[in-house]
């Protein structure tokens, strides 16, 4: 059910029970602007101060089209990708999906949704993504597992992008809101076909991480990450979005690879991609871990996860 409906546990209520929005200290420059470099990555100025920012959740709308294209501009890291069709699909699916803004008339600074890959099998950007990730999965010995998951009934692509300096505290309400909406859609959609399309069994997650060059990273694939996760010899994996760490802990399999098109200095954080498959039954455990970590961070006065 959409964010404007009166259903209990609405999206804004995930942020605050009273004022239905959240005020979080956020590091940002004094001009209150977020800049982007020529690769679409956000630049955080050296001279920062903390300001109070209200974040609000909205249903995706047509007015968000250009903002979503900017936010998702490097979703496939320079590979051929029909971005306009991708943004259109996100906007068209209004009952499941959220855009994050600092005001209704502002551009999106985040988006989260889940697209059933069977329902959208004819969509060009999903076809392009499938072929791209199939090649990457093959390089890690996971081509068969990847193809089987993609082609299985009830598989969804979990799409999540946020500006890199968005507070980690946004992770729990965004994720809980998404999975609540998926649950509601199985009851509220107007046709049985649509209701069935949200009976999801697993989630394919394609996300960004960074690797600290101070420690080795082999990028090896893992199977059943509950017992063995993608893990370098040192603490080198930096999760941009905190939920990704806990999804990976519950993943059936995962693999990572470096983004070669993004050149950085040898001593800088290296941009990587992480791909993983999480069964729907494992999602509550991931959210439980995420909530505990964020609560612990808040009680300790901040710091890294």
Give the model confidence (pLDDT) of 59-90 as tens digits. Answer: 999 999 999 999 999 999 999 999 999 999 99
Q: What is the pLDDT of residue 297?
A: 81
Q: What is the pLDDT of residue 219?
A: 55
Per DSSP, 269 falls in state P
Give residue 298's Cα distance to chain centre: 22
Q: Look at residue 230 and tell me whether its pLDDT is greater than 70.
A: no
Q: What is the pLDDT of residue 52?
A: 74
pTM of the model as a whole? 0.80
Q: What is the pLDDT of residue 224?
A: 53
Q: Are 239 and 231 in contact (CB under 8 A)?
A: no
Q: Look at residue 200 and tell me whether its pLDDT is greater than 80.
A: yes
Q: Look at residue 189 and tell me whether its pLDDT is greater than 70.
A: yes
**Domain boundaries in the chain?**
11-299
Whole-number Å distance between alpha carbons of 39 and 281: 37
Q: What is the pLDDT of residue 267?
A: 77
Q: What is the pLDDT of residue 43?
A: 52
Q: Look at residue 146 and tell me whether its pLDDT is greater than 70.
A: yes
Whole-number Å distance between alpha carbons of 260 and 296: 35
Ranges assigned E (strand) in the chain: 22-28, 35-36, 42-43, 49-58, 98-101, 110-116, 155-162, 202-211, 222-223, 237-239, 253-258, 270-279
Identify which has the larger pLDDT, 234 or 156. Answer: 156
The backbone torsions φ and ψ at residue 85, rounded to the nearest 5 degrees and listed phi first, read -65, -35
Task: Report pLDDT digits (tens) over 104-130.
Answer: 999 999 999 999 999 999 999 999 999
Share of the chain above pLDDT 90, in %: 66
Q: What is the pLDDT of residue 26?
A: 34
Q: Are 203 and 277 in contact (CB under 8 A)?
A: yes
Whole-number Å distance between alpha carbons of 97 and 95: 7
**Mean pLDDT across 8-12:** 36
Which residues on adjacent β-strands are paired with residue 202? Answer: 155, 279
Task: Report pLDDT digits (tens) over 158-172.
Answer: 999 999 989 999 999
């Amino acid at each position: 059910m959409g964010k404007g409906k009166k259903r209990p546990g609405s999206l804004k209520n995930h942020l605050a029970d009273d004022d239905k929005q959240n005020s979080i200290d956020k590091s940002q420059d004094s001009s209150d602007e977020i800049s982007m470099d020529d690769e679409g990555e956000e630049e955080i100025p050296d001279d920062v101060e903390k300001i109070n920012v209200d974040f609000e959740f909205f249903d995706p709308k047509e007015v968000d089209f250009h903002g979503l294209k900017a936010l998702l501009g490097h979703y496939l890291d320079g590979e051929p990708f029909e971005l306009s069709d991708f943004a259109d699909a996100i906007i068209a699916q209004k009952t499941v999906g959220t855009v994050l803004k600092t005001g209704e008339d502002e551009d999106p600074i985040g988006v989260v949704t889940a697209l059933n890959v069977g329902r959208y099998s004819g969509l060009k950007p999903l076809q392009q993504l499938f072929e791209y990730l199939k090649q990457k999965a093959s390089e890690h010995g996971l081509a068969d597992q990847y193809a089987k998951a993609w082609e299985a009934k009830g598989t969804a692509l979990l799409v999540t992008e946020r500006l890199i300096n968005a507070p980690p505290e946004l992770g729990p309400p965004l994720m809980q809101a998404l999975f609540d909406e998926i649950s509601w859609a199985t009851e509220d959609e107007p046709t049985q076909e649509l209701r069935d399309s949200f009976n999801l069994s697993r989630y394919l997650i394609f996300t960004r991480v960074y690797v600290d060059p101070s420690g080795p990273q082999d990028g090896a694939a893992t199977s059943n990450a509950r017992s063995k996760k993608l893990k370098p010899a040192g603490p080198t994996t930096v999760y941009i979005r905190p939920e990704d760490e806990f999804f990976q802990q519950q993943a059936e399999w995962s693999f990572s690879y470096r983004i070669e098109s993004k050149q950085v200095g040898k001593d800088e954080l290296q941009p990587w991609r992480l791909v993983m498959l999480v069964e729907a039954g494992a999602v509550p455990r991931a959210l439980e871990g995420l909530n505990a970590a964020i609560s612990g961070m808040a009680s300790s006065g901040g710091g890294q996860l």
